[in-house]
Amino acid sequence: MGKITISALDRMKSAGEKIAVITSYDASFTRQIEQAGIDVILVGDSLGMVIQGHESTLPVTVGDMVYHTANVMRVSEHAMVIADMPFMSHGTPEQALDTAGRLMKEGGAHMVKIEGGAPQLETVRHLTARAVPVCGHLGLMPQSIHQLGAYRVQGRGEHERERMLKDAVGLQQAGAQMLVLECVPAMLAAEITKALDIPVIGIGAGADTDGQVLVLYDMLGVTMQGTPSFVRDFLVETGNVQDALIAYVKAVKERTFPAAEHTFT
């Protein structure tokens, strides 16, 4: 099994083959994730909540992300690895380039992920023009939680829907090579996925995106603040971590996850 690249993910989108993505933050889980056949590992700033015990992702530092990305990369052989750009680490294109440089040179990431639409287009252009692969992130953006006021579905109103679609197209035009949609109505996510040439990965965004991502701890039922409604507990169904990971990949590939109960309208 060869290394997954962005070209391989593009081919999967074209062929209608679903892409299985999961978060990881350390070597031990990454080894099991790799053995389960995951396509993409996201070293998410969600580590601030599930690893560090913070109430949000905001306290996570670039140093934290470099450390955990390096942990993952030491044992990753197959999956493509994406690292989150943490809060306040990409306020200007120049700062973003410094952050991305650390995540890729010190951490070993293959791609970086940035939350935000129109305000991030200049930064995305700046990074991609300098050979930094970028994954965008729209919908519910945890780094904006204090602006949003709560973790809730995004894109239900007509204005929000139009803005998100415009932002998605803008990110692709700026050079982004992937996009994550979080907590978005299924019909809007399907519309965005169809409109873009790049792979679109959903989390709480219905079944019609090109792939799915879950936080590792959530899909194992290890949660501190309750299980989100778009999550399925694969560990309770299988009884051990390895089988849970294999079941998750199978469910994504065979389109049995997400089901209707994991979807927003």
**Contact present, 209 and 159 (Cβ < 8 Å):** no
3 state SS of 22: strand
Catalytic residue check, 17 = no
CA–CA separation, 244 vs 251, rounded Å?
A: 10
CA–CA separation, 130 vs 112, rounded Å?
A: 13
CA–CA separation, 20 vs 253, rounded Å?
A: 7
H/E/C letters for each residue in 172-184?
Answer: HHHCCCEEEEECC
H/E/C letters for each residue in 75-102?
Answer: CCCCCEEEEECCCCCCCCHHHHHHHHHH
For residue 129, the tally of other CB atoms under 10 A from its CB is: 12
3 state SS of 135: strand
* Phi, psi angles (nearest 5°) of residue 66: -60, -45
Point out the catalytic residue in the list 106, 122, 158, 182.
182
Task: Output the six-digit token pair for 230.
Answer: 């778009």
Q: Which residues are marked as active site? A: 182
